[in-house]
Amino acid sequence: MEWWENLNVWYRSGVILVAGIFVHILIRVFLIRGLEKVAAATSNDLDDRLVYFIKRFYVLILLFVLFIMVLKNHGVEITPFLASAGIAGIAIGLAAKETLADILSGVFLIADRPIRIGDRIKIERPGKHWGGWGDVVEIGLRRTQIKNTDGVIVDYPNSILANSVITNFSYLDKPVRVRIRFQVSYDADLDQVAQVTKNAIHSTAGVIPDSADIVVRGLWSDEGGYQHAGILIEGRYFIPDVRLRTRIRSAVLSNLVSHLRQAKIPLAIQQLNLSKSE
């Protein structure tokens, strides 16, 4: 266009930048908000992932396009620049492979979404790094922020997080089962133990009614290779929210001890035999 060619090169660059800002506003206000409404209206999680991915990366793509357009506007040959950029990219990739690994892992975390913002997760200890329970606060390109149960924000490199075992308790909106274990004397009446344990569990606030199940877990430790000091009992029950697990479990154990005392059911006591060598 003749009017475009007659403009000063810096004016043209300014127009390109203004146009880029305008495109950014259009994408942000109309496209992304429209996609968010469509995603919210469907039960499929795939469209939510797509919208989240676009929100995280479209700015980078837009900046790259604007940069190329400004260079071309100033008469810079783009082909050699792209070739040089490719060589520089290889050098940077070798020098910053850990950073790139974090970024690529972040892309996969955002695309695959094994975790989502707000999820309560459990992270197994990845190597020498700390692991534990927490809520997902932010999923970034390089790092993911987890707020642990002590209220402390822990930044995980995405490459380490992607290679660790993650248990997501919020992925399915269903009650969570909790277990408690204890040992009673071999002389105890198991039917009475089961009934007392159920009463203790069901009398605890926060436990889903009639969800308790009592089983005899074992008499022998397969890992340790020895007989238990008593009969190993396991109580299982459901709670509506995993975030209440520690508080409810503590209350269940307190109630259990009180109920066992009232019923005069003795807990097993570990016996230690000492022998004096001659």
Domains 115-168 and 176-262 share a fold: no
Whether residue 171 has pLDDT greater than 70: yes
Domain boundaries, the chain: 2-95, 115-168, 176-262
Position of tokens 């605890």? 204
- Helix, strand and coil content of the chain, in percent to the nearest 5, comes to 50, 20, 30
With a cut of 80, say whether residue 158 has pLDDT above it. Answer: yes
Q: What is the pLDDT of residue 141?
A: 73
30: left (phi over 0), alpha (psi -120 to 50) or beta: alpha
Domain 115-168: give its CATH architecture.
Roll (2.30)
| pLDDT (average), residues 58-62 | 82
Widest distance between CA atoms in the chain: 109
pLDDT computed for residue 23 by the predictor: 87
How far apart CA 195 and CA 105 sit, in angstroms, is: 50
Q: What is the mean pLDDT of the chain?
A: 81
Structure tokens at 127: 């190597």
Q: Which residues make Cβ contacts (< 8 Å) with residue 170, sequence separation at least 6?
A: 116, 118, 119, 120, 121, 242
pTM of the model: 0.59
**Number of residues that make up the chain:** 278
User: β-pairing, 166-168 with 176-184?
Assistant: unpaired
**Domain 176-262 is found in CATH 3.40.640.10:** no
pLDDT score, position 180? 95
pLDDT in tens, 229-265: 899 999 999 999 888 888 999 999 999 999 999 999 9
Band the pLDDT of 60: cuts 50, 70, 90.
confident
Q: How many CB atoms lie within 10 A of CB 5?
A: 7
Per-residue pLDDT tens over the stretch 205-235: 999 999 999 999 988 887 877 888 899 999 9
**SS3 of residue 221 by DSSP:** strand
pLDDT digits (tens, 9 = 90+) for 87-142: 666 666 555 566 767 777 777 776 677 888 888 888 876 555 455 788 988 887 78
| The pLDDT of residue 184 is above 70 | yes
Rg over CA atoms, the chain = 30
Per the rule left: phi > 0, alpha: psi between -120 and 50, beta: everything else, 221 is beta
